[in-house]
Copies of this chain bind each other. A is one copy, B any other.
């Protein structure tokens, strides 16, 4: 059977270089890595990474737990996490919690049993203690869990402020915010805080309707709007800030059905911006873009930093900038 010496010979590099590539250690130029990989392929050398993982106590597996991998925001995020992980030779295990605490716990246990090096947590249904007792690195998306679990998220407060100022700047006098569920201490609630404070600062009247726990389907939001709004009540408002694009789009369709013109009578702004669904929107939503590419790369890099500096100091939280994307609904 072919061995590491044969790889070195075929690639025209030293055994030490092959070892560095295989162990993912030290600086290796892209070109050298490529040469070594080609050589491994050409002599049909496939080292058993599972055996190596056991020996070295590092698997190069990372897990990501999301509420729904098919939701456009998480589907964006997973792609960028996978691609940036792959660049550093980590493999991604994808888990759908469907926002079920039992499923979430079972996935964490499964990932632990499979010796993942770390987890990116994007589903937040369990209490904080359950995450704290996990004995390997975790990075959290949009929720503060503890000082040992770094958090990466968009600047939710700034997003809420931008959205509210945009509506007020366009002359809106009576605002509504459809928030996410507020009972959990997650960072997206800051969108609501910024909405309240910005409205107060400008002396503009406002209401809030609280969404239920992350039901991430359009149909859910469509029903939600029918249950929580009437056309009469909708006409009381001239500007609505929605905590995500799905509810914003459902609201736009509801207004249209009831003869309320958007944007002349009612202005609507969302939150998220999905690269794929954006193209299909007609009209295009005005929205706050939280950049899933930058968030995805940051989640991966933060986790790998924790994995590779296991004895290092605490790692800071990261806040990624948001921007207002003007569309046709304001």
Contacts and interface: CB of A to CB of B under 8 A. Distances in A.
A41 interface: yes
B82 A275 contact: no
Q: Copy number in this complex? A: 2
A281 B278 CA distance: 10
B79 A218 contact: no
Contact of A249 (B41, B95, B280): B280
A92 B92 CA distance: 8
A253 B72 CA distance: 21
Interface in A42-91: 46-51, 53-54, 59, 68-72, 75-76, 78-79, 82-83, 86, 91
A50 B54 contact: yes
A235 interface: no
Contacts of A94: 78, 82, 92-94
A255 interface: no
A37 B70 contact: no
Given A41-B109, A282-B282, A115 B276 contact: no
B72 A276 contact: yes
Contacts of A317: none
Contact of A91 (B68, B72, B105, B110): B110
A114 B41 contact: no
Contacts of A69: 75, 78-79, 82
A96 interface: yes
A1 interface: no
B82 A48 contact: no
20 contacts: A37-B109, A40-B109, A48-B54, A50-B50, A69-B79, A70-B76, A70-B78, A72-B277, A75-B75, A82-B94, A83-B96, A91-B110, A92-B94, A93-B94, A218-B280, A253-B282, A276-B277, A277-B280, A280-B280, A280-B281
Given A91-B110, A280-B280, 10 more contacts: A37-B106, A46-B112, A48-B115, A51-B54, A72-B276, A75-B75, A79-B96, A93-B94, A218-B276, A280-B281
